[in-house]
Amino acid sequence: MAWAQYRQSMLTSFDDYPIHPGSVPIALTGTSDANHYDRYFFNGYRRDASLYFGVALGLYPNRHVVDASFSVVLEGREQISLHASGRAPSDRRDANRVGPIDVQIIEPMRRHRIVVDSPDHGIRAELVFVARSSPVQEPHFSMRAGQRVVFDYTRLTQFGHWEGWIEIEGTRHDIGIDTSWGSRDRSWGVRPIGPPADSGAPTGSRQFFWLWAPVNFDRYAVHFDVNEYADGRRWHETGFFLPDGFEEVDEAQNVDYSITWRSGTRWARTFDMSLESVDGTRRDVSFEPLYDFQMLGIGYGHPEWAHGSWKGELAVGAERWSLPVADPCAPHHLHVQTVCRVRHGDDVGLGILEQMIIGEHHPTGLTGVIDPAP
């Protein structure tokens, strides 16, 4: 009886399409690892940086959980967040919505709609992401801790504009396509999700160094990321220059950066990066931090709304706090997207520098697990 139920429950609507990458139904993941996930992320901002928002929706098939969050920063001074979590639907067709947060694909790789409708929490929105560039596939992320797979996932990143509105406690904030920028990513595979499980004998110290910087300018966008070990060796890096329109992108053959820390934090005081193309063209880009978007606002490292955590058939909640936070090195506050004014030659753009830094990093002087910079 159990076997018959298992077989019946695996076939879903997408199995009627010729999209199978293997021999099993779409509902089955390529691994039984509880950390398998499939995620949407969007950010958007007015060009004057007066408003910034983030959206995340994640499906965790092997945990049978789906969750989503929507978070807004107003004037760099206050962050307001809405969270939802529930049981994952068996059919992926229904997996783009949880409670009051809905991510809709209008046209794949071109247009997406975000709908948020939680009047009980005073948060509503209807926003359309309009792509301005081709999506780029970042190099595959892969890392092991001893025998155990920690990271094994693919991510695409894309740049665009937004149009629509956000309403907070009855006050509507309009978002215009000519006055906004943003970016999105899609990632799927395996990475640490949900409550940590006992992993047996230790295989090394706790350490993670991550910088990710998608930036919009008037006629183009640039993208950068690095992951490094404590001694500065890189296990992942990305660099792209993307002209407006769906044209061929220029992938950097070399990326580099310099960073200094704000005292008492693990966040950048200054940041500069360089992208070098195959033909030798070098693009130097400098960042001026404006304010920090707390990633726990969309579930990352949240003490209560952490990704992939089972909170029942459906749970919805909201919260708000003042910025900057008083305890920047508290574990749940380490992960930020710093909104930055960005300069490349005479061009001035806007983007973010995402930072998630745990453990030592010898090249930049960080010590301990979460010790602040002096």
Q: Are 120 and 90 in contact (CB under 8 A)?
A: no
Strand ranges, E, within 196-263: 208-216, 220-228, 234-243, 250-251, 254-261
Mind listing the pLDDT tens digit for each residue in 249-260? 999 999 999 999
Q: What is the mean pLDDT of residues 73-82?
A: 97
Has residue 9 got a pLDDT over 90?
no
> What's the token pair of residue 245?
């329109």
Least Cα distance to 315 among 95, 101, 124 occurs for: 101
User: Of the given ranges (15-29, 226-240, 261-275), which has the lowest mean pLDDT?
Assistant: 15-29
- CATH architecture assigned to 32-193+203-364: Beta Barrel (2.40)
pTM for this prediction: 0.95
Mind listing the pLDDT tens digit for each residue in 318-365? 999 999 999 999 999 999 999 999 999 999 999 999 999 999 999 999
pLDDT at 7: 45
pLDDT at 195: 79
Q: What is the mean pLDDT of residues 235-264?
A: 95
Write phi, then psi, for 332 (nearest 5 degrees). Answer: -80, -10
| 123-131/101-107 β-pairing | unpaired
- State percent of the chain over pLDDT 90: 87
Identify the bridge partners of residue 342 per DSSP, sorted by sequence position: 287, 349
Q: What is the mean pLDDT of residues 224-251?
A: 94
Torsion sign (Cα): 237, 76, 52, 151: positive
